[in-house]
Amino acid sequence: MTSPSYWTSLDSPLGPLLLTAAADGALTSLSLPGQKGGRTHTDLDGLRADPAPFREAARQLAAYFAGELKEFRLPLRAEGTEFRTRVWDALDTVPYGATTTYGEVAARIGASRAAVRAVGGAIGANPLLVVRPCHRVIGADGSLTGYAAGLERKVRLLTLEGALPTDGVL
């Protein structure tokens, strides 16, 4: 198990982003305030506050929020079960400005329809919000279902990407 070594905080339109990285610079988490299951400043013991390992992530995030970047190219290292890792890898294939459903993600990883709840759990446990686009997953009926950092942030991200009209309604 590779523990993160560094952390930093970056301002964003969604609120302050808390990022952690491994010793080699791979991003291990990106959390938002109030995020269900997200990292907080209280659980950063043993990590060194240092913005240097995050310069490229900061540049890409700023470009993304400015509408100038459609695909992140950052080294990511999220720890999870083999199933969760497959789900998270599937999220990386959902293009900017598009949405998919939990059932479509299940099909992408070769899981049965009955696995949709497990897929939802894995998506909800995504430790790399924004850069690993779990916000692009919606309900089968087109509804904006759960987002660990709150539905209002999901709406903002999907609106930024053009997947939602500017009034935030599908």
Tell me the catalytic residues: 134
Q: Where are the beta strands (DSSP E) in the chain?
A: 6-10, 17-21, 27-31, 48-49, 100-101, 137-138
Query: b/e string for 96-115 if b means 16 or more Cβ within 10 A?
Result: eeebbbbbbbbbbbebeeeb
Q: Rounded to 5 degrees, what are φ and ψ at 157?
A: -65, -45
**Cα dihedral 127, 130, 131, 137 in deg (nearest 10):** 90
Q: What is the DSSP letter of 136?
A: G
Distance CA 152, CA 156 (A): 6
